[in-house]
Amino acid sequence: MSGALLIAILSLLKITGLLMNKIESVPDSFTIKEMEETSENDEVITSIIAISEKSENMNKLSKHSHILTTSVDHLDEVMESEERPYWYKDALRQIAYYLRSHKFNEYDRRYNRNGDNVERTYFKHFPKPPLRSLHWEVHRYCESSFLHCVDYLRKKLKHVALKRQDDTSIVALENQWSVNSSQLAQVEEECQKMRRVDETVAEPFEGPLERYQWRATASYYMCWYTMNEVPDLKHLNDTCNNFAYCLDNTGPSNNDIRANDKEPFACAQYSFCPDPCCPNKHLSKWEFCWNDEKNPCHHENPDGQRQCAVFRMENTDFRCVCKWGYSYNEELKKCVTNVAISRIKLNSNSARTKENVKNKWKMFMTTILRIIGKQNSNGVGRTSSCLNVLNLLLLLFLINVCLLVE
C-alpha cells in the first residue's frame, strides 16, 4: 500500500509542477517599482524637449536624449565681461570639432566591439541607456566652472591623434583647395591614418571605451552650457558644417543649415547637442525636416504647421530622477540611498498572482493528502484507495490538457 501511495503522490506532484509552470509563464503588468528596478542606472536624467512653434497642440511634446543635472549658480562667472586667455577661442573650436565627431560618427562601444553594421544615432539622442556614471575627470572640472571645463578639455585634446587643424575638410577650406587637388589627397591619407589611430589606440585615454565615456560626458556638459546660452558659445567663428571625420561624400562643407555660425549658438548646438526636432544626419532645407515623419511635430499637426524648435532657455532646469530606494542629494549632486523609501515594499500584480496560485495549490494538495490519509486510517481497502488516487490523477491530467489547449 505504501509503495502505491508514494507513486501516486509523486505523480500528483509532477503533474502539479507542469500546471504551475504553465500558469507562471503568463505575463502580467508591472508596477512602478518593477520598472525602476529594471533600470541599470542610479540616475535617469531629464530630457531635451522639442515643441511645435505654431501648432495649437502645444501639449504634443517630444522628449528625447538624456542629459546631466547640475546647478546654474556657477554660471555667473562666465557672464561677466572678463578678459579671456589667448588660447580660448581656438580651444572652443577644437572642443567643438572633437565632440562633433563623437555626435555624428560614434557608436555605442559599451555593447559593440566594432562599428560594423552599427547605426550611428547620437545626432538624434544622447546614449540610450544613459551612462552608468559620468567620466570622473570631466565631472570634476566641468561641474564647477565653464572656464575650468574648457581649459581641462583643451589640454586633454592636445594628446589626441587627429586634431581639428589636420582634418582634410578644415585644410581644404582654409587653403581653398579643390577636392581633386594632389595636396588634398596627401592630407586625406594622413587624416584617415590619424583617425584610425584615434579609434584603436585612443590616446590619451585607457582605450576606446574610456574615450567613449569621456566624450559622452563632455557632450553632456557642453550641451548644457549651450542650453544655458553661455555668451562665449554664441559664435565660435568656425565653419562647423562638417562631420569632423576627414573628407566624406559631402565634400569639405556639408552645407547643413543648422551649422550656420552667424546664428547665435547654432555652431555650438550643432556640435554638442542632439537634434530631437530634426533627427537627420544632414539637412539642407528646413522643409525636409517638417515633412519628415521622424519630426515629432509631424503626426499630430496639419501640413504647414509642423515646425519644430528646441527652446534653449526652456531646457536649463534639469533635475535628477533616481531609481527606487534613492533620493537626490542637492549638496552631493547625486542620488544617495534613502532608507525610508527602500523600506516601502511594492509587489507587482504578477508576483501577487503567483503567490495566490501557489497558496491555492498548496491547500489543494494538503486536502488530497488528508483525504488519502483519512481513508487509510479508516481501513479502506487497497483497491478502493488506488481507484481514488487514479481518479484524482485523471482529473489533474484533464485540467492540465485544458490549460495547454488554451
Categorize the per-residue pLDDT at 235 as very low, low, confident or very high, splitting at 50, 70 and 90.
very high
Buried b (16+ CB within 10 A) or exposed e, 130-151: bbeebbeebbebbbeebbebbb
Strand, helix or coil for residue 328: strand
302: amino acid identity, one letter: P
Distance CA 246, CA 164 (A): 10
DSSP annotation string for 347-382 = --HHHHHHHHHHHHHHHHHHHHHHHHHHHHHTT--H
Percent of the chain with pLDDT over 70: 61
Name residues whose C-beta falls within 8 Å of residue 268's C-beta, 6 or more positions apart in sequence: 96, 222, 226, 233, 234, 236
Distance CA 298, CA 307 (A): 8
Name residues whose C-beta falls within 8 Å of residue 33's C-beta, 6 or more positions apart in sequence: 324, 346, 348
- Over residues 154-182, the mean pLDDT reads 91
Which tens digits make up the pLDDT trace of 118-131? 999 999 999 999 88
Name residues whose C-beta falls within 8 Å of residue 96's C-beta, 6 or more positions apart in sequence: 236, 238, 240, 267, 268, 271, 272
Would the pLDDT of 382 be above 70?
no
Taking the whole predicted model, whether its pTM rises above 0.75 is answered as no
Q: What share of the chain is helix, strand, coil (3-state, %, to 5)?
A: 50, 5, 45
Distance CA 301, CA 299 (A): 6
Distances (CA, A) of 315 to 49, 54, 126, 228: 7, 19, 15, 8
Which tens digits make up the pLDDT trace of 255-277? 999 999 999 999 999 999 999 99
* Domain-wise residue ranges, the chain: 2-31+350-405, 43-340
Find the length of the chain.
406
CB atoms within 10 A of CB 212: 21
Is residue 382 within 8 A of residue 65, CB to CB? The reply is: no
Distance CA 203, CA 373 (A): 76
DSSP code for 227: H
97: amino acid identity, one letter: Y
- Over residues 239-252, the mean pLDDT reads 91
Which tens digits make up the pLDDT trace of 22-36? 323 323 322 222 223
Nearest by Cα to 281 from 120, 75, 398, 173: 120
Is residue 249 within 8 A of residue 97, CB to CB? The reply is: no
- Over residues 196-204, the mean pLDDT reads 95
DSSP annotation string for 121-169 = -TTTSS-SSPPSS--HHHHHHHTT-HHHHHHHHHHHHTTSSS-GGGSHH
Q: What pLDDT, on a 0 to 100 scale, did the predictor assign at position 29?
A: 28
Would the pLDDT of 50 be above 80?
no
For residues 197 and 249, which has the higher predicted lDDT (pLDDT)?
197
Distance CA 241, CA 96 (A): 11
| Range with lowest mean pLDDT among 23-37, 55-69, 168-182 | 23-37
Name residues whose C-beta falls within 8 Å of residue 141's C-beta, 6 or more positions apart in sequence: 148, 149, 151, 152, 153
Which tens digits make up the pLDDT trace of 98-157? 999 999 999 999 999 888 899 999 999 999 998 888 999 999 999 889 999 999 999 999
| Range with lowest mean pLDDT among 71-80, 92-101, 310-319, 359-368 | 71-80
Distance CA 125, CA 280 (A): 11
Distance CA 240, CA 111 (A): 30
How many angstroms separate the most distant Cα atoms in the chain? 108
| Range with lowest mean pLDDT among 237-241, 310-314, 347-351 | 347-351
What are the backbone angles phi and psi of residue 309, rounded to the nearest 5°?
A: -145, 145
Q: What pLDDT, on a 0 to 100 scale, did the predictor assign at position 31?
A: 28
